[in-house]
Amino acid sequence: MNESEKLFEKAKTLIPGGVNSPVRAFRAVGGSPLFIKSAKGPYIYDEDGRQYIELINSWGPMILGHAFEPVEKAVRDAIQYSFSFGAPTRKEVEMAELITQMVPSVEKVRMVNSGTEATMAAIRVARGFTGRDKIIKFEGCYHGHGDSFLIAAGSGAMTMGVPDSPGVTKATAADTLTAPYNDLAAVEVLLANNQNQIAAIILEPVVGNMGCVLPEPGFLEGIRTLCDKNGVLLIFDEVMTGFRLAKGGAQERFNIVPDLTTMGKIIGGGMPVGAYGGRAEIMNIVSPAGPVYQAGTLSGNPIAMSAGLAMLHYLNEHPDVYSRLEEVGNKLTDGFRSALLKTGLNYTINHVGSMFTLFMTERPVTNFSEAKSCDLPLFGRYFHAMLNRGVYLAPSQFESLFLSTALTDELVEQIIQANEESLTEAITT
């Protein structure tokens, strides 16, 4: 047994399934998960000292690669002033100012500790603001593990085959209505059948959590119009897309203004952080400005704020980051497409900017049921073939890959090569 395998065996006796978040367990792809010791730039290293090229990047936040020097330095500098005060700090004000500059639909923002907290708070605020109880979410979108969202949920819930989790009460589940992604007509029906009852529509403006799925032209615009017509708040969950698909997130890229936005891991530069924000009129109902309660001892934690501020300042001041991410995304997916042509496979690649997924299906993938048509055993073989060639992919078909500016052209070529060999291996074994 290697070190990772030994650790996993022990972990399983101490932690449910041996991991602190389900997808990490490699259940969907088989085998034993890598236990990670360190990461730097484009590489991640396991407990056995093996090096891999990173295409997960902590599920999104490492836009600039691992342990990016300005972020590392900011954390080192901050540590000498202690680690948590549970009191207001200058950095929180700077963070709020920077977020509101970069994402103009966000006029006021509240920091929390995870994406899950951000989405839970956002729907509470939407309910408090509208005085309505129900929400609409889309099948296969993942918004963290709050009870209201574990209904037709994507990501790990989809990978583990439990999109509707036991433990969520029937009453809670009844307040979450679901529609297929990209299906405006289905949303119209839900709105018509639940008039004056829907507080919010929440969605990933580009889905990362059933694999990468793009909004079809007109979908986001249509949802915005339906929200306006029906007095429903539109919540963009930009935990994955925020500050990644553009400086101002997917809302800037697709030019749609949501009422509320949720953000996550990226604004902590990899530290445990989340945030929600939106129009001042709406955010002013949050306690202590207003009656909707939401709080957190570690919210706005000074170390996390320092990491996040360093990261966001860098993104804000270096537009070349975004052109490089586009370039890397285009080069990689072009390379993947030519491998598909060469191998005669007609599989689907969904791609936007620095997010993409190779789906093991010949169908276009625009929603949850299409994503589920993938050949999952084939994906498992492909995943391990890539891992053996030193490329670390998300261990599930139902996740997007995330690129970073740390990927050089040379590494991009290596990944393309590994992909072609892995595809060939996966289809012939």
Residues noted as catalytic:
142, 237, 265
- What's the min distance (Å) between Cβ of 118 and ligand PMP? 7
Judged by DSSP in three states, 302 sits in helix
Q: What is the DSSP string of 330-390?
A: HHHHHHHHHHHHHHT---EEEEETTEEEEESSSS---SHHHHTTS-HHHHHHHHHHHHHTT
Does the footprint of ligand PMP cover residue 59 (CB under 6 A)? yes
- What's the min distance (Å) between Cβ of 423 and ligand PMP? 27
Does the footprint of ligand PMP cover residue 116 (CB under 6 A)? yes
Whether cis (ω within 30° of 0) applies to the bond prior to 288 is yes
| Residue of minimal Cβ distance to ligand PMP | 115
- With CA atoms as reference, report the closest residue to 159 among 394, 329, 391: 394
Rounded-to-integer distance, Cα 77 and Cα 79, Å: 6
Does the footprint of ligand PMP cover residue 139 (CB under 6 A)? no
- What's the min distance (Å) between Cβ of 21 and ligand PMP? 7
Torsion of CA 253, 257, 263, 269, to 10 degrees: 40
Taking the least distance from each CB to ligand PMP, the nearer of 276 and 379 is 276
Which position among 91, 124, 127, 143 is part of the footprint of ligand PMP (CB under 6 A)? 143
SS (H, E, C) 219-230: HHHHHHHHHHHH
Stretch binding ligand PMP (CB under 6 A), from 5-13, 165-173, 201-209, 408-416: 201-209
Does the footprint of ligand PMP cover residue 399 (CB under 6 A)? no
Rounded-to-integer distance, Cα 417 and Cα 165, Å: 39
Rounded-to-integer distance, Cα 261 and Cα 131, Å: 19
> Which residues are bridge partners to 262 per DSSP?
237, 276
Instruction: Give the interface size with ligand PMP as a residue count (CB under 6 A).
Output: 17
Which position among 119, 357, 397, 419 is part of the footprint of ligand PMP (CB under 6 A)? 119
Give the x-and-dash track for 243-272 against ligand PMP (CB under 6 A): ---------------------xx-------
The residues of the shown chain that bind ligand PMP, judged by CB under 6 A, are 59, 114-116, 119, 142-144, 204, 208-209, 237, 239-240, 264-265, 274
